Amino acid sequence: MKKKILVIDDFTALLDEVSEYLSLEGYKVYTAKDGAEGIQKAIQYLPNLILCDIEMPIMNGYDVFRTLEKIPDTASIPVVFLTAKATPQDFRFGLSLGVDDYLTKPFTIEELTATIKKRIEKVERAYKNANDKFTSFADNPIIGMYVYLNNNFVFFNEKLQKIIGYNVEEINNIDVFDIIITDKEKFKKEFNNCYLGHIQNIYTEIQIFNKNKKPILIEFFAKHIETNGKNGIIGGVVEVNTKNKNASANINHDKIKSVLSYLTEKDKAIVEGALYGRNANETEEQDKQLLKKIGITKREIEVLKLICSGLTNSEIAEQLFLSKRTIDRHRANIMDKTNSGNTAKLVAFAIKYNLVDI
């Protein structure tokens, strides 16, 4: 599969020259003539690397970088600045932001090619490292492992599916707390508090119904995580042998303790591996199911389109012949349903799921 490069530059001649060369080198190239268009195309195409000019009108390269950093889907894309500014102060400022590299104009084709190759290879090594850690996590033969983000389970390993009988899609289509038999409300409160970070860990023994409605006893553990500004939980489940409960519990406790120790050190890499694997295999049908579960109404989509077109709540209210208070409520609902903390994230969500055409 071709690597994707996004080139953002307001100088048309350079934009065309770099685009043509990279296309001949086998890259899929997207171009943008200003920062705002560059952000839109970064969200839409999720390139492997972005080449971005610094000196651009309205929105300069630093503003583009800061905006992309705030959007989960684009935050990890490497950015290489193209600049005629080459003072040590400029380099220090960019590096302090987290910029990956600089190419000083005029640069040679050889410099451009080497920089792109180096940066893409670095990202791929990081993904492979995360994926290797995730594979180690996922293949645990004794403990059923899961990752929970954005109020959904995004991963079950094979062992967990065997224990409870449900896969990820099935468990997300029911109220998971309905399968809890003992202390349901207490467990629900603890789980939600762990998800929000009010408590860091859960270790408890509960009885549940598996998919075949058979009651089973499990040891359940969870650890709060935060990735890209989003809350979540990572943890696991062990089925307790009720015929020899004491021996089973002692063995399981040692296993769980060692895994918890591992998760404490490695949870971010594991979650990145889980999300990378999920995004790589995510299908259009899964997207549709997610939108259905989120429950965005036709009116909310109508409001969302107008938000993405840049209208204020007052302007949207006037256009739809509704009160500003009603639009405020719709906007709050959309933000909550999509877990978007700001307008940039909301626009990113809308583009990703084809709710708007910008």
Same domain, 236 and 307: no
With a cut of 80, say whether residue 138 has pLDDT above it: no
In this structure, is the dihedral angle defined by the CA atoms of residues 38, 39, 43 and 44, taken in order, positive or negative?
negative
Same domain (yes/no): 110, 147: no
Selection from 28, 38, 36 nearest residue 8 by Cα: 38
Q: Are residues 153 and 213 in the same domain?
A: yes
pLDDT at 217: 92
- What is residue 5's predicted lDDT score, i.e. its pLDDT? 95
Angle made by CA atoms 24, 30, 31, in degrees to the nearest 5:
105
Are 320 and 278 within one domain?
no
Tally the residues of the chain.
358
Total count of domains within the chain: 3
Residue 260 has pLDDT above 60, yes or no: no
Give 160-202 pLDDT, tens digit per residue: 999 999 988 889 888 999 999 988 999 999 999 999 989 988 8
Query: 351, 311, 348: which is closest to 331 by C-alpha?
Result: 311
User: Which CATH number characterizes residue 238's domain?
Assistant: 3.30.450.20
Do 344 and 257 share a structural domain?
A: no
Q: Return the higher-pLDDT residue of 76 and 204.
A: 204
pLDDT at 147: 86
- Cα-flanking dihedrals φ and ψ of residue 173, to 5°? -100, 5
pLDDT of residue 284: 46
CATH number at residue 296: 1.10.10.10
pLDDT value of position 85: 64
Please indicate, yes or no, whether residues 104 and 56 belong to a single structural domain of this protein: yes
**Domain end among 236, 253, 282:** 282
Same domain, 151 and 242: yes
**Residue 325 buriedness (CB in 10 A; 0-12 / 13-18 / 19+):** exposed
Residue 357 covered by a domain: no
Domain boundaries, position 306: 285-352
Q: Are 216 and 179 in contact (CB under 8 A)?
A: no
Q: For residue range 222-237, what is the model confidence (pLDDT) as tens digits?
A: 888 876 667 888 888 8
> Of 244, 264, 282, which residue constitutes the final position of a domain?
282
pTM of the model: 0.50
- Identify the weakest region by mean pLDDT among 108-122, 133-147, 273-287, 322-336: 273-287
Out of 109-113, 177-181, 245-249, 308-312, the most confident range is 177-181
* Cα within 13 Å of Cα(207), Cβ side: 8
Assess if residue 180 is contained within a domain.
yes
User: Taking all residues of the chain, what is their mean pLDDT, rounded to a whole number?
Assistant: 79
| 264 shares a domain with 150 | yes
Q: What was the pLDDT predicted at 164?
A: 94
Gyration radius of the chain over CA positions: 24
- What amino acid is encoded at 232 in this protein? G
